[in-house]
Amino acid sequence: MKILAVLYNGFKAAKAEPRLLGTVENELGLRPYLESLGHEFYVTSDKEGPQSEFQKHIVDADILITTPFHPGYLTRPIMEKAKNLKLCVTAGVGSDHVDINAAVDHKIQVLEVTGSNVTSVAEHVVMSILNLVRNFVPAHEMIERGEWQVSDIARNAFDLEGKTVGTIGAGRIGYRVLQRLVPFDCKELLYFDYASLSAEREQAVGARRINDLQEFVSKCDVVTVNAPLHDGTRGLINKKLLSHFKKGAWLVNTARGAICEADDVAEALKSGHLNGYAGDVWNVQPAPKDHPWRQMKNPLGGGNGMTPHYSGTTLDAQARYAAGTKTILQNYFEGKPQNPADVIVGVGKVESASYGQR
Amino acid sequence: MKILAVLYNGFKAAKAEPRLLGTVENELGLRPYLESLGHEFYVTSDKEGPQSEFQKHIVDADILITTPFHPGYLTRPIMEKAKNLKLCVTAGVGSDHVDINAAVDHKIQVLEVTGSNVTSVAEHVVMSILNLVRNFVPAHEMIERGEWQVSDIARNAFDLEGKTVGTIGAGRIGYRVLQRLVPFDCKELLYFDYASLSAEREQAVGARRINDLQEFVSKCDVVTVNAPLHDGTRGLINKKLLSHFKKGAWLVNTARGAICEADDVAEALKSGHLNGYAGDVWNVQPAPKDHPWRQMKNPLGGGNGMTPHYSGTTLDAQARYAAGTKTILQNYFEGKPQNPADVIVGVGKVESASYGQR
């Protein structure tokens, strides 16, 4: 078989750090295994446009492996050219780079490595909440500049204790965020989702569901987005919904950049209606140099906690998603059943409700 | 009575933000109360040297109020000049700016507002641990610079899950740190302290005591310092102890800067023996422009999570310690008993073991 992987470049870092498995250089550690079975294995980071290595090799590839950090976008037109394609594996979690309906039509299975990095992302969420609420970035930058003026930091620093935190989405990541927030003595933990958690799981984290999104955001000091990107969530956080946020609320989005309207968020931060915005996902990745989220600040000069998309690709996460990708391939080659939680699209049918296909 | 307060300057910020209570401008909100009782109230930030307002007014003050963020240092020679001084109140937690033995000898009571900001500091510790382990600062700075190279961040980003975290000191702050770490699924939570927690409190956080400090640090991926500064902890973390740390460990100190030897820490970070150092306390405050902790980095250019000393002076904390200071003054004026947990030194005797006076 021909196996194509679209990964990000690691350059010098990947040569110096062999645990950077998810890079073009280190190939998820799969080459010895795949070549021992006689498969062809192509790895590239070149993924944009019809002349890209991705589009050149996809036409006769049997299997595509890619990551959410630097995805090869598997659109319907590309699937129509990919006559041999039978399996698409996401090395990580989040398969919105695949047109799910088209994959069903083309009988292309879509699998991801469930659980490989959901904890990594949940940790990034809690870190980002604390950084915004406690005003960390301006404080650190003051030290780097050689200055010291506690009052300029303290005037916009708060405790997480006593605040209301809500998650849009209480699934694999959102629920882990709630679990990690329990000991912080928040005023209340809330969630918005299309279904309720079981009573047992609600009680375990002391969280309450709010059915109406506008009501939900109006109650939260901190809103965190932990939902997949699909037609129902694209642009969900826009000017209209932001107008229902509390003045001075903090927003953390490590889900997908396109769930927020980029310009609306930037405007809300600049006006001070949002006190902070943090996350590692962008509507375009890599984010262009002039993306408004790079430099946007609140009126006090802080409130920006952005990073490149890396929360799910810590070295610990890379070890897990590389191993998980190999397991999925082994199951596939040997005709063994896959872990059901990993299956987004089976042969000709959607298995996961995560992408709004119910 | 004459009451003297030494607080930090808030300048414009304090005028714009009345919740900045702990500033010279906003005077802990105490002036109307104190003047209604006919007391004199002097407030200053000028505290260094014999010509300072602090040393000028202390000679006939009855009560001194100060904070750990910008303390008036109450040394034995100053107490000898302060003939009327009967009470010293720390608006916050941490009274190492007072010579405890000299206060006993001079029958000066020393009180602090227990609990007013211990949660604030514990949150700062957890935030700092996540920032170091997950490599946040270089990631954010990459975005600010207009760049995008995930592998340069990921190569030194890890999950907190599965790591061993230990606290030096499991008191009011250290124990709150342990509580907040419980859901992060660390490999193990450890503590080093002069006494054991009760079995019940140990079990509640799943922490284990290690009696030997060298053995303790050698087991930890993350060490956090949550102990008071006294003769037994000054310079505790020095070159010798650092040599027993795991290579690549992270160190967070929000207790007091002088518990660490500044140059030894900077050298350990530069060599990569420490992968990161974060905290908000410095051996001199305000830290001079050329303090080595401002610019020190690990060999990959990251690992610095320093801020000015503000973790315990969030707006939420200021509300609590301003209210707590007023309560201590009320009790004193009205001859009512103080909250025993607030009393570091009673009349002529030490009440708290926290400052190594047992």
Per residue in B10-48, pLDDT (tens digit) is: 999 999 999 999 999 999 999 999 999 999 999 999 999
Instruction: Please check whether residue A342 is in contact with residue A47, taking contact to mean a CB–CB distance below 8 angstroms.
Output: no
Select from B127, B162, B308 the Cβ nearest to the Cβ of A127. Answer: B127
pLDDT at A91: 96
Pairing mode, if any, of strands A109-112 and A343-346?
antiparallel
* Record: contact A143-B318, CB cut-off 8 A: no
Cα separation, B167 vs B179, whole angstroms: 12
Omega within 30 of 0 (cis) for the link into B299:
no
Contact across the interface for B127 and A123, Cβ inside 8 Å: no
Question: Which residue has tokens 């890209």?
Answer: A52
Q: Virtual CA dihedral for B317, B318, B319, B324, nearest 10 degrees?
A: 90
**Interval A326-354 mean pLDDT:** 93
Residue B297 pLDDT > 90: yes
What pLDDT score was predicted for residue B115?
87
Element (H, E) at B190: strand B188-192
Amino acid occupying residue A49: G
Sole residue written with tokens 């998980």: A324
b/e per residue A103-138 (b: at least 16 CB within 10 A): bbebebbbbbbbebbbbbbbbbbbbbbbbbbbbbbb
Look over chain B and give the mean of its residue pLDDT values, rounded to a whole number.
96
Output the CA angle A264-A269-A270, nearest 5 degrees.
Answer: 100
Distance from CA of A84 to the nearest CA of B (A): 31
- Inform me whether the pLDDT recorded for A358 exceeds 50: no
CA angle B280, B283, B289 (to 5 degrees): 80
Query: In a 3-state reduction of DSSP, which class is residue A305?
Result: strand
B285 classed as catalytic:
yes
Q: Which of B55, B131, B156, B285 is catalytic?
A: B285
Mutation for testing the B interface, residue in A307, A309, A311, A321 having most B CBs under 10 Å:
A307
Q: For A172-199, what is the mean pLDDT? A: 97
* Cα atoms in the 13 Å half-sphere on the side-chain side of B298: 23
Identify the pLDDT of residue A115: 87
Q: Cis omega before residue A286 (within 30°)?
A: yes
Closest approach of chain A CAs to the CA of B314, in angstroms? 5
Q: B142: which chain A residues are within 8 Å (Cβ-Cβ)?
A: 307-308
Cβ atoms within 10 Å, residue B20: 24
pLDDT mean over A204-212: 98
Max Cα separation, chain B? Answer: 65
Interchain pair A155, B185: CB under 8 A: no
Q: How far apart are alpha carbons B52 and B275 in whole angstroms?
A: 41
d(CA B245, CA B277): 13
* CA distances, B33 to each of B72, B278, B333 (Å): 23, 39, 12
Q: Which of A127, A304, A310 sits opposite B153 (nearest CB)?
A: A310
Mean pLDDT within B207-228? 98
Does the annotation mark B39 as catalytic? no
**In chain A, what residues touch B287 (CB-CB under 8 Å)?**
143, 148
Distance from CA of B333 to the nearest CA of A (A): 30
Domains of chain B: 2-116+313-355 (3.40.50.720), 118-306 (3.40.50.720)
Q: Do A314 and B157 touch (CB under 8 A)?
A: yes
Per-residue pLDDT, averaged over A210-228, amounts to 98
Q: Contact B10/A148, CB-based, under 8 Å?
A: no
The alpha-carbon gap from A256 to the nearest alpha carbon of chain B, in Å, equals 16
Strands (E), A25-157: 40-44, 63-66, 87-90, 109-112
Q: Which of B293, B179, B309 is nearest to B254 (CA)?
A: B309
Q: Extract the tokens encoding B350.
A: 């030490």
Q: What is the pLDDT of residue B108?
A: 98
In B45-178, which ranges are E strands?
A: 63-66, 87-90, 109-112, 164-168
At residue A196 the predicted structure's pLDDT band, cuts being 50, 70 and 90, is very high
Phi and psi at residue A212, in whole multiples of 5°?
A: -100, 125
Instruction: Collect all residues of chain B within an 8 Å Cβ-Cβ radius of residue A134.
Output: 123-124, 127, 311, 314
Report percent pLDDT > 70 for chain B: 99
Which residue among B13, B159, B317 sits closest to A317, beta carbon to beta carbon?
Answer: B159
Nearest CA in chain A to B175: A183
Residue B358 confidence (pLDDT) above 50: no
Q: What is the pLDDT of residue B354?
A: 72
Q: Mind listing the pLDDT tens digit for each residue in A102-134?
A: 999 999 999 999 889 999 999 999 999 999 999
Query: Residue B118: what are its φ and ψ, rounded to 5°?
Result: -65, -35
Is residue B106 annotated as a catalytic residue, yes or no?
no
The minimal CB distance from B316 to the residues A140, A152, A158 is found for: A158
CA distance B313 to chain A (A): 6
pLDDT at B356: 53
Name the residue of chain B whose CA is nearest to A132's CA: B127
In 3-state terms, what secondary structure has residue A110?
strand
Question: Residue range A277-289: average pLDDT?
Answer: 96
Query: Which residues of A does the annotation mark as catalytic?
Result: 117, 256, 285, 309
- Which of chain B's residues have a Cβ under 8 Å away from the Cβ of A179? 183
Chain B nearest-CA distance from A314, in A, is 5
Q: Which of A22, A154, A316 sits opposite B310 (nearest CB)?
A: A154
B50's CB contacts (< 8 A; 6+ apart) are: none
B/e letters for A223-232, b = 16+ CB within 10 Å, e = fewer, are: bbbbbbbeee
Query: Which positions in chain B touch A262 (Cβ < 8 Å)?
Result: none
Q: Give the ipTM of the model, two decimals please.
A: 0.95
Using the beta-carbon criterion (under 8 Å), do A314 and B70 form an inter-chain contact? no
Q: What is the pLDDT of residue B154?
A: 97
Q: Where are the beta strands (DSSP E) in chain A?
A: 2-6, 40-44, 63-66, 87-90, 109-112, 164-168, 188-192, 207-209, 222-225, 249-253, 274-279, 304-306, 343-346, 349-350
Query: A303 is written with which tokens?
Result: 């409130």
CA distance B337 to A49: 77
Query: Residue B151: which of A11, A152, A179 has the nearest Cβ?
Result: A11
Cβ–Cβ gap A159/B316 under 8 Å: yes
Q: Which residue's structure tokens are 């709010």?
A: A210
| Cα of A143 vs its chain's centroid, Å | 31
Shortest CA distance from B130: residue in chain A: A127
Strand A63-66 relative to strand A2-6: parallel, antiparallel, unpaired?
Answer: parallel
Residue A353, pLDDT above cutoff 80 = no
**Beta carbons of B151 and A13 less than 8 Å apart:** yes
| Distance set, CA A202 to CA A90, A182, A192, B47 (Å) | 30, 12, 12, 53
Token pair, residue B251, equals: 């160190």
Residue B223: which H helix or E strand, with range? strand B222-225
What is the C-alpha separation between A109 and A343, in angstroms, rounded?
8
SS3 B43: strand
B308 closest CB neighbour out of A148, A306, A315:
A148
Half-sphere exposure of A299 (CA within 13 A, CB side): 10
Share the mean pLDDT of chain A: 96
Least confident of A57-61, A75-79, A112-116, B102-106: A112-116
Give chain B positions within 8 Å (CB) of A143: 287, 293-294, 306-308
Please give the structure tokens belonging to residue A70.
């630097």
Other Cβ atoms within 10 Å of A49 Cβ, number: 8
Taking CB atoms and an 8 Å cutoff, what residues of chain A touch B309?
150
Contact criterion met (CB below 8 Å) for B142 and B153:
yes
| Interchain pair B8, A162: CB under 8 A | no
